[in-house]
């Protein structure tokens, strides 16, 4: 079975799906289809009316949004689930996923504000608010003990931190969060992370 992933090479949400696909041994079942979400008549809308990436076109239908793409991929492999279906690990994993995913959302919103709006319309208050959200969430995550278990949460966190390095290095997220930095150094060396480095 071949699936089609609408993607853009710098999108952290797309990267999350790609890392997930590598970790579950499904990467070679996915054909990447570049799409420019900023073109008004982008072809992505044929599959995903939201006009966003990622979207995964499969024999079972189109799945829009990174979480759903990952959940679908998780149903296709025989290894242990990266989104725990039940058991005590399910809720902590989903909770960390939500925080990491929210950081990506905030960073993307901030970058969109800076890169996609005419300079005179960029509102510093919005940027400050997103930065504060990211900083608080980093602090909360840094206060927890993170293992190197690979799951939807750690994959999303790895992609969130990488995206901060890529697009918002001035936030210096490692400062005062040494253990999180060490965690990321190990996680980002994984083959799945190395195979999916972003480019502008
Ligand atoms: N919640 C969605 C967010 C996807 C998203 O925001 N993708 C961005 C690229 S990183 C996009 O397509 N933006 C285009 C737009 O906002 O019009 C997910 O988890 O995939």
Please tell me the distance between residue 87's alpha carbon and the centre of ligand 1 in angstroms. Answer: 31
pLDDT tens per residue, range 127-185: 999 999 999 999 999 999 998 899 999 999 999 999 999 999 999 999 999 999 999 99
What pLDDT sits at residue 199? Answer: 81
What pLDDT sits at residue 67? Answer: 98
Q: What is the pTM of this model?
A: 0.97
Phi/psi for 113 (5° steps) reads: -60, -40
* Gap between the Cα atoms of 164 and 154, Å rounded: 15
Banded pLDDT at 68 (limits 50, 70, 90) = very high
Q: Is 65 in the pocket of ligand 1 (CB under 6 A)?
A: yes
User: What does the buried/exposed string (b/e) look like for 22-44 if buried means 16 or more CB atoms within 10 Å of the residue's CB?
Assistant: bbbebbeebeeeebeeeeeebeb
The residue whose CA has the least distance to atom 10 of ligand 1 is: 11
Ligand 1, pocket-test mutation among 8, 10, 36, 37, most atoms within 8 A of CB = 37
What pLDDT sits at residue 81? Answer: 98
Domains of the chain: 3-74 (3.40.30.10), 90-194 (1.20.1050.10)
Contact 198, 12 (CB under 8 A): yes
């Amino acid at each position: 079975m071949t699936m089609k992933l609408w993607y853009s090479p710098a999108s952290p949400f797309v990267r999350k799906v790609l890392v997930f696909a590598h970790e579950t041994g499904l990467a070679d079942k996915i054909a990447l289809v570049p799409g420019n979400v900023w073109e008004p008549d982008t072809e992505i809308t044929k599959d995903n009316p939201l006009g966003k990436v990622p979207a995964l076109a499969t024999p079972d239908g189109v799945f829009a949004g990174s979480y759903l793409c990952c959940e679908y991929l998780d149903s296709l492999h025989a290894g242990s689930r990266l989104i725990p279906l039940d058991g005590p690990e399910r809720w902590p994993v989903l909770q960390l996923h939500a925080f990491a995913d929210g950081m990506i959302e905030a960073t993307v919103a901030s970058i969109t504000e800076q890169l996609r709006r005419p300079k005179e319309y960029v509102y510093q208050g919005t940027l400050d608010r997103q930065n504060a959200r990211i900083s608080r969430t980093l602090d909360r995550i840094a206060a927890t003990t993170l293992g190197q278990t690979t799951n939807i949460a750690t994959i999303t966190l790895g992609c969130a931190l990488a995206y901060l390095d890529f697009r918002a290095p001035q936030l210096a997220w490692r400062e005062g969060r040494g253990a999180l930095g060490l965690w990321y150094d190990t996680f980002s060396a994984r083959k799945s992370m190395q195979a999916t480095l972003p480019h502008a």
